[in-house]
Amino acid sequence: MNKAEILIIDDEPQIRKLLQINLESNNYKVVQASTGKEGVVLSASHPPDLILLDIGLPDMSGHEVLSELRGWYNKPIIILSVQDNESDIVSALDNGATDYLTKPFRTGELLARIRSAIRRNQNTKNESTLICGDVEIDLVGRIVKRKDEMIKLTSTEYNLLALFAKNEGKVLTHQYLLKEVWGYSYQTETQYLRVFVGSLRKKIEDNPNNPQHLITESGVGYRFQ
């Protein structure tokens, strides 16, 4: 039985009720908050395994709640919002959101994102080997295998792939990837990503034109799955 506890921070009673029904039917425990302040207090008094956070709250913005929570809460936070503009999504992800779904969303997709986020958080963070589908990454030996065959990668390709694998299932923005792999001065050089993601796809995908591992999140970044 799934015993993970999920906190819903949303001011719409209908949305909270719908989420509660779907989550409880999948054996999650559910706690609800209708304001940002209430959500922060509940999170501090009894930290849940995951938070579903609405951006449009009556007392403070979801971005403010996210920023406050990330001062101490290190478990997954999935943003739910009617806002679908690129800057809003990028801002939430860059400020610590684990994932972002636009309302209305499909229940099946939300549940899949929740499972992925909780699973990643429960994995041992000091593992020396990451296994993502048919891709295996030895973080100590810097060796990458696919279907038990060694793949030759450049240093930059390896660094990018390792970063993706450590954040499996999470949307990583262009700016974040560029900062982490190339440095702060490269955060606008998105052509670097296009080139190296294309190169990685040729080496780890069955069909680089229809990738199953390195998924493009249009206008935002990439997701490794």
Q: Are residues 9 and 118 in the same domain?
A: yes
Q: Domain range spanning residue 211?
A: 129-224
Q: Are residues 39 and 80 in the same domain?
A: yes
Q: Are residues 110 and 211 in the same domain?
A: no
Q: Are residues 29 and 117 in the same domain?
A: yes
**pLDDT for 32-51, tens place per residue?**
999 999 999 999 988 999 99
Q: What is the mean pLDDT of residues 156-175?
A: 88
Count CB neighbours of 122 within 10 A.
11
Ranges 7-21, 67-81, 111-125: which has the least confidence: 111-125
Last residue of a domain, one of 63, 98, 122: 122
- Beta bridge partners, 32, equal 8
Q: Are residues 144 and 73 in the same domain?
A: no
Last residue of a domain, one of 68, 97, 122: 122
pLDDT at position 127 is 63
Ranges 8-17, 116-125, 206-215: which has the least confidence: 116-125
Read off the tokens for 175: 């700016």
Last residue of a domain, one of 88, 106, 122: 122
pLDDT at position 2 is 56
> Residue 148: CB partners within 8 Å, gap ≥ 6?
136
CATH number of the domain residue 52 falls in: 3.40.50.2300
Straight-line distance from the first to the last Cα atom of the chain, in angstroms, rounded to the nearest whole number: 25
Q: Distance between CA 45 and CA 37 in Å, rounded? A: 12
Buried b or exposed e, range 192-225, using 16+ CB within 10 angstroms: bbeebbebbbeebbeeeeebebbeeeeebbbbbe
CB 186 within 8 A of CB 192: yes
**pLDDT for 51-101, tens place per residue?**
999 998 999 999 999 989 988 888 899 999 887 777 888 888 888 888 898
Is pTM beyond 0.75 here?
Answer: no
pLDDT at position 143 is 84
| Average pLDDT value over all residues in the chain | 87
Q: Are residues 55 and 137 in the same domain?
A: no
What domain count does the chain have? 2
Q: Are residues 140 and 96 in the same domain?
A: no
Greater confidence (132 vs 19) lies with 19
Q: Distance between CA 76 and CA 223 in Å, rounded? A: 16
Amino acid at 61: S
pLDDT at position 74 is 81
pLDDT at 1 over 50: no
**pLDDT for 185-223, tens place per residue?**
777 888 888 899 999 999 999 899 999 999 999 889 999
